[in-house]
């Protein structure tokens, strides 16, 4: 019985696949070529089952019902967005901000400045990148540096933002975190049967999260950000969308601010971008 049920709900019609692919590209800039069809069908199954529809095509019809569209669109986006992330992913970037970017920003500001350093993790997923930045900056203060900071994480997926806001992760998730940082920045669960840790309150207080779509015409973010991470998301956009998003993000950087992309995006053409390239994945406005 379960096999028959799985067969009936797992195949999008050509028309519905084109409809969903067009909607996703319009809403979040992610292109879904035909090769992604099976992936899309698989990800939609949880919504089909949650809403008790008989098949995935019935779900698509439901999605475009005017009464349901706005609320269900959030769930659809959660289904189709890729949320791969890790603590200390691409560690050279965190070495750069610790050894080069932050010291240079502090020198430029001069002594006596009380303005907090602002770092923005765009497409932050489950918050691991944002909390990694917070740990690195707090460790600099622990070692004697004098500054304040705030970290903003934004993402379009509500489900990953919920996890980010709680700051609760499994031991497996924090495996890349240095041992001394685990001791300093994570609390073990009071329940010994739960394999969970939680980011310490002081890091959670200086790390905030907000839902935001990079495809929006304006971003509700300060325009004096010092460092923006936008890693491993631009590769899902076509070239015109990449250009638009990068220009929009860089308009929120202070003069001399840094823009960091993922190593998979190092090939992105930066000739028309509003910045200079310092390293394959690091730029300065």
Hey, which residues are catalytic here?
A: 43, 155
Dmax (CA) for the chain in angstroms is 71
Contact 117, 148 (CB under 8 A): yes
- What phi and psi values does residue 46 have, to the nearest 5 degrees? -65, -30
**Any alpha helices (H) in the chain, and if so which ranges?**
2-9, 14-28, 37-50, 56-63, 69-80, 92-96, 102-109, 128-142, 158-166, 179-185, 201-205, 239-250
- Whole-angstrom CA distances from 47 to 39, 89, 220, 257 are 14, 30, 30, 41
**How far is residue 72's CA from residue 45's CA, in Å, rounded to a whole number?**
14
Within 10 angstroms of residue 217's Cβ, the number of other Cβ atoms is: 6
Cβ atoms of 100 and 59 closer than 8 Å: no
């Amino acid at each position: 019985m379960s096999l028959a049920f799985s067969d009936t709900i797992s195949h999008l019609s050509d028309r519905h696949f084109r409809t969903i692919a067009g909607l996703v590209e319009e809403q979040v800039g992610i292109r879904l070529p035909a090769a992604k069809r099976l992936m899309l069908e698989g990800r939609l199954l949880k919504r089909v089952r949650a809403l008790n529809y008989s098949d995935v095509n019935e779900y698509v019809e439901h999605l475009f019902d005017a009464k349901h569209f706005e609320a269900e669109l959030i769930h659809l986006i959660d289904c189709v967005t890729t949320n791969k992330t890790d603590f200390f992913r691409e560690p050279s970037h965190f070495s750069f901000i610790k050894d080069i970017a932050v010291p240079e920003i502090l020198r430029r500001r001069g002594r006596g400045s009380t303005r907090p350093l602002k770092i923005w993790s765009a497409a932050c997923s489950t918050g691991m990148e944002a909390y990694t930045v917070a740990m690195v900056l707090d460790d600099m203060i622990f070692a004697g540096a004098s500054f304040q900071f705030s970290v903003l994480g934004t993402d379009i997926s509500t489900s990953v933002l919920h996890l980010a806001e709680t700051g609760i992760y499994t031991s497996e998730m924090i495996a890349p975190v240095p041992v001394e940082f685990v001791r300093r920045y994570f609390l073990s669960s009071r329940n010994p049967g739960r394999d969970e840790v939680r980011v310490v309150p002081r890091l959670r207080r200086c790390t905030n999260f907000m839902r935001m779509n990079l495809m929006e015409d304006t971003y509700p973010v300060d325009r004096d950000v010092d460092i923006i991470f936008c890693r491993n998301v631009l590769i899902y956009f076509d070239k015109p969308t990449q250009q638009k998003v990068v220009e929009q993000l860089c308009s929120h950087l202070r003069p001399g601010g840094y823009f960091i992309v993922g190593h998979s995006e190092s090939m992105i053409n930066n000739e028309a971008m509003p910045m200079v390239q310092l390293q394959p994945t690091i730029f300065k406005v």
